Amino acid sequence: MNTEHSVSALLVGEFDIQDRLILREVFRKRGWRLLEAQDRNRAMLHLARDAVQVVVTEFDPPYATWKTLIQDLQRRGLPSQLVVTSRAGDASLWAEVLNLGGYDLLLSQPLDREELERAIVSAARHAGTAPGTWRAGLPG
Does residue 131 fall inside a structural domain? no
Does residue 92 fall inside a structural domain? yes
The predicted-structure confidence for 16-40, as pLDDT tens digits, reads as follows 899 999 999 999 999 999 999 999 9
Residue 128 — pLDDT band, cuts 50, 70, 90? low
Does residue 13 fall inside a structural domain? yes
What CATH number is attached to the domain comprising 102? 3.40.50.2300
Residue 96, pLDDT > 50, answer yes
Does residue 40 fall inside a structural domain? yes
More confident residue, 42 or 132: 42
**What Å distances lie between residue 101 and 25, 28, 83, 98, CA to CA?**
28, 28, 10, 5
Residue 132, pLDDT > 70, answer no
Does residue 74 fall inside a structural domain? yes
Does residue 136 fall inside a structural domain? no
Does residue 135 fall inside a structural domain? no
Does residue 139 fall inside a structural domain? no
The predicted-structure confidence for 59-84, as pLDDT tens digits, reads as follows 887 778 899 999 999 998 888 999 99
Domain count along the chain? 1
Domain that holds residue 56: 3-126
Segment 99-105 shows an average pLDDT of 91
In angstroms, the CA 12 to CA 20 distance is 11
Residue 5 — pLDDT band, cuts 50, 70, 90? low
What's the confidence (pLDDT) of residue 137? 37
The answer to whether 22 touches 111, Cβ cutoff 8 Å, is yes
Segment 124-131 shows an average pLDDT of 68
